[in-house]
């Protein structure tokens, strides 16, 4: 992430560790679990902070590795990862070797982006006749359009750049409603969002089947955090900090979307409710 978001993320981490929860101490030899997190960084920091706290309540620390979705799946299958930070329901039906921790962490929508002007909506039939860029391995997106029209990319940034360069007609991305309002900035100009989302999906934490014994205690820890309002508070705090910066999302080849100051005054999204 850019230096513009260093303070909000640091503040969020401090906030989460200050929240009420099981007492714990971190010994130098605390066992470590390795979890895959998305190479896309724009909405993952709160989830990682929440998961660190849940695992700490089990006496474990977390090492996150930022890989493309398909790379993470290869490493998980080979047994070199203990789990994945967040995945959709459809992922768990397709990959039975990963056990779902059944506490919702975040609800996202699938949005379509294109070069201006953007329509109020786009049908799945129209998408099936178009060239559609997306992050490779994002199953919630892949389920919406036939394989024949998909243009897979390693990152959402690369998918957006395909649209800006005229290689693709649309880019599909999972996003929160507030973040989808941020302008997507490229060297060729800004992209806009089709107003109506295409679908909605819930993200859950997942662990490799070899770690199945951790599912129940993780569910207990995350459910308690959810009941105390910590999960919602983490997302609200993050959204408020990002929205207050009047930001845009800069698409750069092979990288995460980077939060930067918006290119033009008045282009910031509506701030989340306080």
Q: What is the CATH number of the domain that holds 224?
A: 3.40.190.10
As a whole number of angstroms, the distance between CA 224 and CA 235 comes to 16
As a whole number of angstroms, the distance between CA 66 and CA 44 comes to 10
Same domain, yes or no: 144 and 251: yes
Q: For residue 274, is it within any domain?
A: no
Residue located via tokens 């934490």: 205
Confidence of residue 63 (pLDDT cuts 50, 70, 90): very high
**Which pLDDT does position 182 carry in this prediction?**
84
Same domain, yes or no: 178 and 114: yes
As a whole number of angstroms, the distance between CA 84 and CA 100 comes to 10
Is pLDDT of 120 > 60?
A: yes
83 or 44, higher pLDDT? 83
Contacts of 124 (CB under 8 A, 6+ apart): 144, 145, 198
Confidence of residue 23 (pLDDT cuts 50, 70, 90): very low
Same domain, yes or no: 56 and 119: no
**Which pLDDT does position 8 carry in this prediction?**
46
CB-neighbour burial class of residue 245 (10 A; exposed 0-12, middle 13-18, buried 19+): middle
**Which pLDDT does position 129 carry in this prediction?**
97
**Which pLDDT does position 245 carry in this prediction?**
66
Weakest-pLDDT range from 22-31, 94-103, 134-143, 187-196: 22-31
Same domain, yes or no: 137 and 238: no
Q: How many domains does the chain have?
A: 2
CB 36 within 8 A of CB 75: yes
Same domain, yes or no: 25 and 89: yes
**Which pLDDT does position 68 carry in this prediction?**
85
Same domain, yes or no: 174 and 227: no
Q: What is the pTM of this model?
A: 0.80
Confidence of residue 83 (pLDDT cuts 50, 70, 90): very high
As a whole number of angstroms, the distance between CA 225 and CA 240 comes to 20
The string of pLDDT tens digits covering residues 203-256 is 999 999 999 999 999 999 999 999 999 999 999 998 887 776 657 888 989 888
Q: For residue 273, is it within any domain?
A: no
Same domain, yes or no: 54 and 138: no
Identify the three-state secondary structure at position 35: strand
Same domain, yes or no: 10 and 67: yes
Is pLDDT of 265 > 90?
A: no
Is pLDDT of 193 > 90?
A: yes
Same domain, yes or no: 17 and 59: yes
- The separation between the first and the last C-alpha atoms of the chain, rounded to the nearest angstrom, is 24
Is pLDDT of 21 > 50?
A: no
Same domain, yes or no: 10 and 73: yes
Q: What percent of the chain has pLDDT over 70?
A: 84
**Beta strand spans in the chain (E):** 32-38, 61-67, 83-88, 98-114, 132-135, 150-153, 170-175, 184-186, 189-193, 199-208, 247-250, 258-261
Q: Mean pLDDT across the stretch 164-181?
A: 92
Same domain, yes or no: 156 and 251: yes
As a whole number of angstroms, the distance between CA 114 and CA 269 comes to 18
Q: For residue 128, is it within any domain?
A: yes
Q: For residue 145, is it within any domain?
A: yes
As a whole number of angstroms, the distance between CA 250 and CA 87 comes to 24
Reduced 3-state DSSP string for 173-240? EEECHHHHCCCEEECCEEEEECCCCCEEEEEEEEEEHHHHHHHHHHHHHHHHHHHCCHHHHHHHHHHH
Q: What is the dihedral of CA 214, 136, 155, 233, to 10 degrees?
A: -40
Q: For residue 224, is it within any domain?
A: yes
Q: For residue 14, is it within any domain?
A: yes
Confidence of residue 257 (pLDDT cuts 50, 70, 90): confident
Tokens of 140: 């919630």
Q: For residue 269, is it within any domain?
A: no
Calculate the average pLDDT of the chain: 85
Q: For residue 48, is it within any domain?
A: yes
CB 234 within 8 A of CB 50: yes
Same domain, yes or no: 219 and 164: no
Query: What domain range is 72 assigned to?
Result: 3-105+204-242
């Amino acid at each position: 992430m850019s230096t513009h978001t260093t303070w909000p993320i640091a503040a969020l981490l401090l906030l989460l560790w200050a929240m009420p929860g099981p007492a714990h101490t971190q010994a130098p030899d605390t066992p470590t679990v390795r979890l895959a997190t998305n190479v896309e960084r724009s909405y993952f920091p709160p989830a990682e902070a929440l998961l660190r706290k849940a695992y700490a309540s089990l006496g474990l620390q977390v090492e996150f590795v930022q890989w493309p979705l398909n790379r993470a799946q290869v490493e998980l299958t080979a047994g070199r990862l203990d789990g994945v930070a967040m995945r959709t329901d459809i992922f768990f039906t397709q990959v039975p070797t990963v056990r779902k921790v059944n506490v919702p962490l975040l609800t996202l929508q699938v949005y379509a982006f294109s070069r201006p002007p953007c329509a109020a909506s786009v049908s799945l039939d129209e998408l099936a006749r178009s060239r559609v860029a997306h992050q490779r391995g994002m199953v919630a997106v892949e389920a919406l359009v036939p394989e024949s029209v998909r243009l897979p990319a390693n990152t959402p940034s690369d998918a957006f750049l395909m649209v800006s360069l005229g290689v693709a007609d649309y880019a599909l991305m999972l996003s929160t409603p507030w973040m989808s309002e941020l302008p997507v900035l490229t060297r060729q100009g800004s992209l806009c969002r089709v107003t109506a989302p295409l679908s909605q999906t819930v993200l859950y934490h997942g662990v490799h089947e070899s770690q199945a014994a951790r599912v129940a205690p993780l569910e207990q820890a995350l459910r308690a955090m959810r009941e105390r309002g910590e999960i919602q508070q983490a997302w609200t705090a993050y959204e408020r900090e990002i929205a207050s910066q009047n930001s845009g999302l800069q698409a750069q080849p092979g990288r995460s979307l980077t939060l930067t100051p918006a290119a033009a005054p008045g282009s910031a999204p509506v701030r989340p409710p306080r």
